[in-house]
Chains A and B, each alone.
Chain A
Amino acid sequence: MPVPILKQGGILIASIQTAVTDQDLVQLQDDLADKVGRFRSRGVVIDVGALDVMDSFATRTLRNLAQALKMRGATTVIAGIQPDVAFAMVELGLTLDGILTALDLEEGLGMLTMPPQEDGHSVG
């Protein structure tokens, strides 16, 4: 089942609703790269709150996606990683270094709509 993508102002929201297949994730990658260009979006929030497993494939795909979207001029926030999932990822040796993360969708949206701070501190 493809991941639905919503447009809210200059931000795209991809809400992963249920366990996704590898194919769905690859599809999401293509869809977001396309829509960022079409809607001239500056920010993307990927809500993974419904995922009960983030294995090495899912993590690598989301990390690559965030890096590719950055090259297209958009900032990506991965939001809603569940506590158990976070521990399993750490145990696996997976990281999201250099990728913005947020507790949930609301926080993620906040990070993208907050004006950049003058003193050089990164938001979040």
Chain B
Amino acid sequence: MPASFREVIETAQKEGAKRLAISFPGKKDIEILAEAAGAGLVIPCLVGDGNPIESMVSETSLKSLKHEIVEEKNQQKALGQAIRFVRDGRADMLMQGADTHQALMDAILDTKNGLRKGKLVSYISVFELPKQGKLFLVADTFINNSPTLAEKQMILDHAIRLAGILGIAAPKVAALAAIEQINLNIPSTLDAAILSKMSERKQFGSAVVEGPIDIDCALSEAPALRKGLRSAVTGKVDIYLVPEVDTGHLLAEALVFFGAMQAAGAVMGTTKPVILNIPFVSEANRMVEIAMAALMCKRGETNA
């Protein structure tokens, strides 16, 4: 089970290089891809305006590594082409290039030509916790604004699946809310309680979901005991399920900016892995995201 981002990359390297499609890559994208190709993780397929791409490639180690450049000067068409490559199996994964998040998401979610697998696509953040030698996940931190209970169930399924890909077989889940008691006026506490009950009935397999639970009890056993909360989850959380995106996005950012925690993440719910440009993920950690995408490919299907 990978205990660090370094180990995620090392595990993925054993799987052999995957074919990665990207439309309109920028200089930084190509530098990252050069590193990933050098590490044996990917064979990049660069779709876009050939001359500038070739020029950027020539300035990196990618020039002497296996790669492909596909000429398409129109950015929108290039994105469609890259997605088509992934759909048709010519590529194993898609990485965001110069396209905006909205343009990319619209293209991915397109029911006819996109990569959506199920009813919902989510983004799960993964953080490194060196002191405890483990990784933990926060779901959803980017895509779903105000998920309903049914959508939270799907997001949680995605997070549990990603945890499994990362070697966490029976994840401990904190369904977060402002308080640890059920308050009929606080919807997050009701959703968390229902998910917790579903977990008791094994509707999330071997995952253990505790909720509602506030962050202090989730993070540490001592405050939980002071509040009379005894649970296998307190202080040992693998997955934090947040109530909505205001909380998820800001929580992920807070861990990065105040805690200097290393963050990566994965899009879940697509037919093939998709790697987004998330601002609170550093350029260096996009290698980790590529590695996670490669591990998803190993499963044969990704994540919905």
The answer on A and B forming one complex is no
